[in-house]
Amino acid sequence: MVAVVLALNSGSSSLKYGLYAVDPEPVLLVSGTIETLDDDGHDHARFFDTIETALKGWPVPTVIGHRIVHGGPRRDAHCRIDDAVMADLEAACAFAPLHGPASLALIRAARARYPGVSQVACFDTAFHAEMPDVAKTLPIPRAYQAGGVRRYGFHGLSCESIVRQLGDDLPRRLVIAHLGNGASVTAVLNGRSIDTSMGLTPSGGVMMATRTGDLDPGVLLHLLRERGLDAPALATLVDHASGMAGVSDLSGDMRVLRTAETADADLATRMFERSVCKQIAAMIASLGGADMLVLTGGIGENDAPTARAIRAGLAWVPGLETRILASQEDAQIARHAAALV
């Protein structure tokens, strides 16, 4: 029986949707993107008005799959959504306040619009769930670790899609650099994640469009003590006002920065490129060498200067093949959703 899956990929500023026929491989029927940056967090019904208009004339979904950025400490495998899963997702919002509440609101809206249709949660953290303790454990007191404070890793659906696309060409030691508005680098050994640049939240690792990436924690303590910034102000600084946007004082959009003729814009792009190279080098260390590097995500797939800079910055790595592949997160959501129902 053909499953008709509506895949919903909710990000921090947009909602991507795709309708797939899965039998057994997903075939895209129709897709689109809705900008959500100015949404007040309550009117998700209007998103489904837009989606239903686009789906008019196509088969009605038999299952809906949701990309969930953070599953929290209790959810590390894709699953059907029930009340117990919803409770765990509520708790996980503490780890991903940028993404979690929007995802929950979208699930509730989907349940209301499609009563009786199965809903599936596909976790970006699932791909990294079996990382070894040396990668998963953060250097903090054990008392905090017991509360779920550890490295989770993200962009897991993207990494899954790269591993799948490589198929028989999958090398033993692979580094995946997902470079977009959010960016992370993952070390993959024999198809499994063993280390990754993002940590407890999607804010760490590579310098990003508006996120700091890895930052001396003393900077935040200094701003707390000397400048009087409170927790909400620090959260805004870390996730929304820093990265390439903060350095350039212009934009976090690589396309804007590439055409800007300012020294700060040039510095921001060079810092991003250096940050990516450093994280790739770290993943090579975790792997004990690397056979292939894959660039994916909006910047990784489309920004040629970034690809050239990364190749040049890693010219010292012997025998490193570099490929550019498209991230196929939505197709992965469709596969998992069809399999789970």
**Is 268:249 a contact under the CB 8 Å cutoff?**
no
Nearest alpha-carbon partner for 19 in 331, 339, 341: 331
Would you call 330 helix, strand, or coil by DSSP?
helix
**Single-letter amino acid, residue 167:** G
* Dihedral sign from CA coordinates of 201, 202, 208, 210: negative
- Please state at what angle helix 45-55 crosses helix 100-113, rounded to 10 degrees: 60
User: Which two structure tokens, joined as six digits, stand for 249?
Assistant: 């004082």
Crossing angle of helices 217-226 and 231-240, rounded to 10°: 140
Contact 161, 147 (CB under 8 A): no
Handedness of CA 268, 271, 276, 277 (dihedral sign): positive
* Active-site residue flag, 124: yes
Q: Tell me the DSSP string of 265-317.
A: HHHHHHHHHHHHHHHHHHHHHHHTS-SEEEEEHHHHHH-HHHHHHHHHHTTTS
Helix (H, G, I), strand (E, B) or coil at 105: helix
Phi and psi at 150, nearest 5°, equal -155, 180
40, 124, 264, 330: which is the annotated catalytic residue?
Answer: 124
Query: Which residue's structure tokens are 């019904």?
Result: 45
**Separation between Cα atoms, residue 32 and residue 16, nearest integer Å:** 6
Q: Dump strand ranges (E) for the chain.
A: 3-10, 14-22, 26-35, 63-68, 79-80, 118-123, 173-179, 183-189, 192-196, 292-296, 321-324
Which residues are catalytic, by number? 124
